[in-house]
Structure formats: C-alpha cells, structure tokens
Amino acid sequence: MSEYDPVWPRLFEEEAARLRSVWGEHLVDVHHIGSTAVPGLVAKPVIDIMVVIKDISKVHDYDAGMVSLGYRPRGECLDAFGTPGRFYYSKDTDGLRTHQAHVMQAGHADIQDMLAFRDYLRAHPEAAEEYADLKTRLVRENTGGIGEYIEGKNGFIRDCVAKAKGT
C-alpha cells in the first residue's frame, strides 16, 4: 500500500485521453475508479479505470489498440470474483502494474455500483478511513493471495454501495 499521491488524478486524465483515442466513437465514458480515485486514501499505486462502451460484443475489435498502449488483454472476468460482461486489461511498466482497465457495456450493473462506492468514500471520509484500515489489515494478514484480499473487502464494499443507494 502507498499513501495517497495527488498525482494519481493527473495520471488518470492522461491515460483516459489515450483510451479515448483507442475506443473512439464506440466509447460512452471513462471513469477513474478504485482507491486511487479517492483523495487521501491509501492504495496500491495502480490507476483503476472503467471504460464504458456501446457494445461489448465488439470489445475484442479494440484489443490491438489497447496493446499499442501497453495493455495486456486478460479476457472476460469469469473467475470467482469477476463479473460476466466485464473485460479486464492490465498495463505494466518495468515489471510493475501501473494501470488496469475494466471494460463494460453501458447499462452493466457493476458500473453504478463501482461509481456509487467511489463517490460514497469521497463523500464520507470516516468510511474511507475505515476502508483504508481494512485494506491495510488484509494486506498484512493475507496468506491466500489476491482472492483472499478481494473477499475480505467485499462485505465492506457491499455495505457502502447499499448506503450510497439508500437501500
């Protein structure tokens, strides 16, 4: 984990411009998500990006453009923590992950949930601090890999999304 770096929003904006050039008219929107999108929050220093497109059936038509930006197409997120209809791309620089893009079709349920979580943490610093403590503890205690880390965050994230949506 790294302390919040105020350069992260600028890194997102620079990458978003490059992504807009790849996806062109097929693009609906690009959002900064994840912990690097929440001012003051500790994070793995990886810029998380949500790319919303018009038609997910055309996602692979853009793989070459993503590769030209240094991304590795990882396919549809169908593992235990993934979501059908969400495609993942990772970008490493000098062997370190720097960016990851989650590509979804407009209307996918994850879009509103991811934005609701981000916005909830931005609006509720006490929740962001609680989330930071949880993530730090999970990293420290993790013995089972990324799956254990993700599972450890799920309940907190679901609670925040429910609060954000007023449910």
| Structural domain boundaries in the chain | 8-165
Q: In the numeric block, which tokens belong to residue 65?
A: 């453009």
- Does this model's pTM top 0.85? My answer is yes
In CATH, what is the architecture of 8-165? 2-Layer Sandwich (3.30)
Give the other-Cβ count within 10 Å of 33's Cβ.
21
CA proximity to 88, closest of 78, 102, 99: 102
pLDDT of residue 80: 67
Cα gap 112→71, rounded to integer Å: 24
Give the other-Cβ count within 10 Å of 85's Cβ.
17
SS3 call for 52: strand
**pLDDT average per 10 residues of sequence, the chain (167 residues):** 96 98 98 97 96 98 98 89 90 96 97 97 98 94 86 95 93
